[in-house]
Amino acid sequence: MGETGITSFTTWGGTIAMPVGVEFAKSKTSARIMSNFVPTFVAFFAYSTLAVFFWKAQVTGNTDALNRSSLGHAIGVPLAIQAWLLYTNLIVGSSLNLSLVYSISLILWLTVLVYWIARFFYPLANMLSLVLPLAAIGVILPVIFPDARTHSEPTSWMFDTHVLVAMLAYSLFTIAALQAGLMSFVEKGLHHATLPKVLKNLPPLLTMETLLFRILGVGLVLLTLTLASGILFSEQIFGKPWQFSHKVLFGFISWGVFSVLMLGRTLRGWRGRTAVRWTLSGFGFLVLAYLGTKFVLEIVLHR
């Protein structure tokens, strides 16, 4: 099988370390990437083209009309292609591959999927011009970094459920961070009368703020389930007792920040810049807890 190394899967609940055939795993991953090159290019081209159309519609104020047209529904095509690409690369036999590259790709795909579905119920069509370029980046990442380390972990229904809930939580908080960032830009632009054209057609700040807290509420529930399951069912999910680590610490700090924000909203009526600061702070700790940890382990320490 070639050189044997130690790999680990890191999540908010714990870490699994196990020996793998590094060269063998890399060769299989490289072969899959090459065989998936055409659908990857098709999805990237579709995301990029749709992003241009939505960006132009955002500037002219026609995003809602474009959203209801066939082009709005066409976003489902690259989403479906990327879903298939993720499935073929994340599922390795009876194991799950969640290296840094594929974790980012999965999170961005879920982010766009949530936006695409939610646009039928909430005024989020304007946001598609901003998240579609992220989707293009997410689908092309495995091609840009073909030598990314492959982490293959034996799975169970509890493990898969834990990972899915964690990724959904991460995606919702990514959306919340984007929403908060836009709110900050819009508020500053309104105060200085220098709002760019692309931001003039966004929903009113009050609407964006209401949506922000709805997203944060659902994300906090999912994050709570992720942390609680990682502690209470660590042996069933990870095959080892729960251990406190720096990633768990950052995860709980993030949970605390979002919890205080939701309480402040309910009890003190927090909004505006306060909501934006707390949202971005909580998301920053969440990035350190998961992607930051994976970056250090895979890129810096090569584990």
As a whole number of angstroms, the distance between CA 203 and CA 206 comes to: 8
pLDDT at position 24 over 60: no
Is the distance from CB of 294 to CB of 284 less than 8 angstroms? no
pLDDT at position 1 over 80: no
pLDDT at position 251 over 70: yes
Of the two residues 42 and 299, the one the predictor is more confident about is 42
298 CA to centre of own chain = 18
Is the distance from CB of 153 to CB of 16 less than 8 angstroms? yes
Q: Which of the given ranges, 8-17, 45-54, 228-237, has the highest pLDDT on average?
A: 45-54
Instruction: Report pLDDT for 143.
Output: 84
Furthest CA-CA distance within the chain: 63
Instruction: Report pLDDT for 129.
Output: 83
Q: Which residues contact 140 (CB under 8 A, 6 or more apart)?
A: 40, 44
Instruction: Report pLDDT for 191.
Output: 65
Q: Which residues contact 30 (CB under 8 A, 6 or more apart)?
A: 146, 147
Tell me the mean pLDDT in the region 17-30: 45
As a whole number of angstroms, the distance between CA 278 and CA 262 comes to: 10
Instruction: Report pLDDT for 92.
Output: 63
Residue 134: what are its φ and ψ, rounded to 5°? -65, -40
Instruction: Report pLDDT for 265.
Output: 93
Sequential DSSP letters for 11-44:
-SS-EEEEEEEHHHHHHHHHHHHHHTHHHHHHHH
Q: For all residues of the chain together, what is the average pLDDT? A: 79
Instruction: Report pLDDT for 5.
Output: 44
Q: Which contiguous run of DSSP H or E holds residue 154?
A: strand 152-154
Instruction: Report pLDDT for 192.
Output: 63
Instruction: Report pLDDT digits (tens) over 25-47.
Output: 445 555 555 568 899 999 999 99
Of the two residues 3 and 187, the one the predictor is more confident about is 187
Split at pLDDT 50, 70, 90, the class of 82 is: very high
